[in-house]
Structure 1
Amino acid sequence: MALPVFKSRLEIINAIRTSYQQTSLTLRAMYDSRIDAIVTDNLFIRIPIIDQINEGWGVFDTANVYQGNVYQLEKHLERIMFSAAGAKIPVPLTLGQMKEKVLQLISLFDCNNLRVRVFLSKGLVGESSEAQGIFYALLYTDPNQVKPETVKERSVSIPLKPRELAVIKTNNYLCNTLCSLEAKEKGGYMGVMLDENGYLAESAMANVAVILPGGHFRTPFPDKILEGTTIKRVLLFCEELVKNGELQSASRGNISLEEAKHSEEMLIVGGDNIVGITEFDGEPIGSGAMGIITRKIKNFLQQDHVSI
C-alpha cells in the first residue's frame, strides 16, 4: 500500500488532528520565546524534536496552580535557572520576565488541575554557540495525575545519575522512567533508588523521608539527588513540629534500608503533595495506614497551597 503524500498544510493539519489519541491530559496553551507569544491551538503546541530530544540539551520545572495562583513559582523559576547554568544553557529572559510570561499564560484559564511546565533549551541543532536559548511555558491539565493516599513501595536496582547531572532537572528522565517501571514490576509505586553505599536516595519523581523511632524526621542529603521545592517546604514545617514537641528532630541524613523498613512512618514528598508508604520491600511500615506526622504534613501542604 502506497503511503499518502501530503502536499498542502490543510491535509497535514487534518491528518494530525485525526491521529490524536484521546487521553486525560489536555494541552491548554504554550508560551514560546521564539515568537514571544502564546499559542492556544494544541496542534501548534509543539517543541521541535531536534530541539531537546536529539541532544537532550534542555532543562525543565513544573509548578501547580491553585485558585489562580502558581504555588512557589519563584522557587521553581530559581531552580530552572540553576539547572540552566549547570547545563550551560543561555537564558533568554530574566527571572522576572519569565514570571510575567507565566502569569499571563495562566490568566487565560480558570479551571481545576492546572499545571505549568517551563522549559529552557539551548535551541536548534546547528545554531551558533552564541545563540540565545529558548524559553517555553506549557499550561496543561491532567485529572489522572491525582496521587493516591498511600502506596506499597519497593527499592530498585537503577543506579543514580552522576552528581553533576543528578542536581540538574534535565529533560532526560530515562533513569527515572526505568526506576518507576522496575518498581511497578515488583508491585511498588514509583520506586526508591539507592546510592552506592546502599542508603536511600530518591524516588523516580520525588523525594523520600522517614519518621524514625523516637520522632526523628529524616530525608536524604541533597548532594547527589534532585532536592525538590516541596521537601524544602516540608523541612521548614517539621522544624516547627520540633519546636512544639511533636517531633524530636528534623534533618537531612543517611537512611539505611533497615532503618527505612523499621521506621514508624515513611513518605514520598513531591509535586506539592505527600503519599504515605505503608509497606516497603515487603515490610509493613507503622500501623499500615498513613501515619500521624505524615497526615499533619499533608494537611499543612494543602493549606499552604492557597496561603502563599
Structure 2
Amino acid sequence: MKILPKVFDTPAFKGTEYDTATLPLSIRKYWVDQKKEISEISEKLMKLFPELQYDKILWAWHVTNTRCIFVENEEHDNVDNSDGDTIAVIPFVDMLNHDPIKFQGVALHEKLNGRYVVQAKRQIMGGEQVFVCYGPHDNTRLLVEYGFTLPENLNTKVLIPQEVLITLAKIAGIEVTKEHERVLTEVGLPSHLYATDEGPSWSLKNNVRVMLLEHWQMANGRWKKIIYSHDPIEDDVAAKIDEKLKIMLKELREGVAEKTKKMPSEVQWMWEEQVKVCDAAIAHFDKNVE
C-alpha cells in the first residue's frame, strides 16, 4: 500500500468537469463511459458501506484502473464481465511505463502455462528503464485514463463520421447519392485520419473512391469487385481521388481550426492536436507534387 500513488493527475481525480460537446469525438464516448462507471460503482459501494467516502472510492478506482491489465479469465460468479471486460492486476507489470515507440518489453498472456510475461524485444542494459505499450492511445485517452500526455504522440487521430465525410465530399464537388450512402454503409470502412499515416489511410481513400463511382458501377453489387480488387487503381482514378481528398481535408482542417477557437481553454489543446493531424495529411499531397 505504501508504494501506491496517493494522487492521480486524471481529470476525474482532479474533479475536472468537461462539457461533453466540447470534446473531440475521439475521446467523447470514453469520457462519458468513464464518468458513468465511476458513478455507478460509487453508488453501489456506498449502499453497501455507508461509511465509505467518495474520495476513497475514487482513489481505489484509479489504483485499479491505471494498473489493471486485460486478460482472458475464466468466468466467476462474483465477477461481472457482461461488457466483455476481463481484467487482472499483475504485480511488477503494472509498474512499467508507457512508450508507444521506444518500448522494449512486450506484455503477453501465455495461456498454456497460465503466466503473464514481459518479453524483451532487444537487449536491455542494466539500469535502463523498461517500457511497454499500453495501446494505440492518443493524448486525450492517455490523459483521461492515466493522467499524462506525450509530447509527440503518433497515435493522435481525427474521427470523421460518415455524415461529415459526405458533407466534405459535396463541398469538394462530388455528387453523393443515396446509393453512394448505402454502399458506404455496407463497405463499413472508417474514414479517420491518423498521425501515423503517411498521408490519408487506404480506407479513407477507398471511401472517397466509393463516392466517385458511377451508377452502373454500383448496380448489382459491381462495386465489390472494384473496391475489393487487388489490382492497382488506375492513374486517372487515383489522381481524381487525391484531387477531391485534398479539397476535403483542407475544408476539414478549416472547420476544426475554427472550432478550436471557440473551445474552452482547457480543451483547446485537444483540438489543436487534431489540426496538426490535418496539416500533416495535407502536407503529404504538397510533398508529392514537388
TM-score normalized by structure 1? Answer: 0.25
Task: Choose between structure 1 and 2: higher strand proportion.
Answer: 1
Task: Choose between structure 1 and 2: higher helix proportion.
Answer: 2
| Structure (1 or 2) with the larger CA radius of gyration | 2
